Every structure is written in C-alpha cells, then in structure tokens.
Amino acid sequence: MAADVAETGVAAEELKQFVERIERLEEEKAGIAGDIKDVFAEMKGRGFDTKAVRSILRIRKKDHAERQEEEAMLELYMQALGMA
C-alpha cells in the first residue's frame, strides 16, 4: 500500500486530502474547546459551581439505565465504607 501511494498521484492526492481534512477539523476542535472554556469562565464569573456543572454534563451523556447502575454501585460502595 505504501508503495502504491508513492507511485500513484491519485492515492497520494487522496492521502493529502485526508490529512488536510483532519488538520481543519483539529483547528475547529481547538476553536470549540476555547469557546467551551469561555462559557465555563462566564459561568464561574456569574457564581455557578463549574465542577458541579461538569458533573451534570457527564451524567447527561449517559442513558438512564447506565446512570442507575452507576448510582447503585456508588451507593453500595459508600455503604460498605460507612459513608451512607
């Protein structure tokens, strides 16, 4: 495959296009990450607990069953450690 890429302009051009697409997406990702950071800074400035908001965001990504299972396991462990 590597020899094919070096010998054929078509494969080399296709590879270049893939690499350039990835580079553009990485740039967009960095920009979005900066935007998210700005939103968290704004929230913090308004008095919100950003650590709690990050936890909420993680929880919202999970489906209901996964959340219930995780909460049950956490409760079990906390009971075992005398924390509940």
Both 12 and 34 in one domain: the answer is: yes
Both 55 and 82 in one domain: the answer is: yes
The pTM is what? Answer: 0.69
The per-residue pLDDT for 2 is: 57
The per-residue pLDDT for 63 is: 96
Both 44 and 77 in one domain: the answer is: no
Per-residue pLDDT for the chain (84 aa), expressed as one digit of tens each?
A: 555 555 667 799 999 999 999 999 999 999 999 999 999 999 999 999 999 999 999 999 999 999 999 999 999 999 999 997
Q: Report DSSP letters for the chain, one per residue.
A: -HHHHHH-HHHHHHHHHHHHHHHHHHHHHHHHHHHHHHHHHHHHHTT--HHHHHHHHHHHTS-HHHHHHHHHHHHHHHHHTT--
Both 40 and 7 in one domain: the answer is: yes
Overall number of domains in the chain: 2
